[in-house]
Amino acid sequence: MLHAAQSVFGFAFFLLVAGTLVLSLRFSWYVAPAAVRRWAAEEGYRLVSMRSLWLIRLSMSVSNAQNAYRVVVRDEAGATREMIVIVGEFLWPCASVEHCPVRVRRESPAAPGPRKPAMIDPDGP
Question: Phi, psi (5° rounding) for residue 68?
Answer: -115, 140
Between CA 120 and CA 89 the distance in angstroms is: 54
Model confidence pLDDT, tens digit, residues 6-40: 888 888 889 999 988 888 888 889 999 999 999 99
Q: Which residues pair with 111 in a beta bridge?
A: 80
pLDDT, residue 1, reads: 60
Mean pLDDT, rounded, for 90-117: 79
Model confidence pLDDT, tens digit, residues 37-81: 999 999 999 999 999 887 765 566 678 788 999 999 999 888 999
Question: Phi, psi (5° rounding) for residue 60?
Answer: -120, 15
Q: What DSSP character marks residue 30?
A: I
Sequence-distant (≥ 6) Cβ neighbours of residue 91 within 8 angstroms: 63, 65
pLDDT, residue 116, reads: 52
Q: What DSSP character marks residue 31?
A: I
Please, what sign has the CA dihedral across residues 23, 93, 70, 78?
positive
pTM of the model: 0.75
107: pLDDT confidence band, cut at 50, 70 and 90?
A: confident
Q: Which long-range contacts (CB under 8 A, 24 or more apart) does 55-63 make?
A: 56/84, 60/84, 60/86, 60/105, 62/86, 63/88, 63/90, 63/91
120 pLDDT above the threshold of 90: no
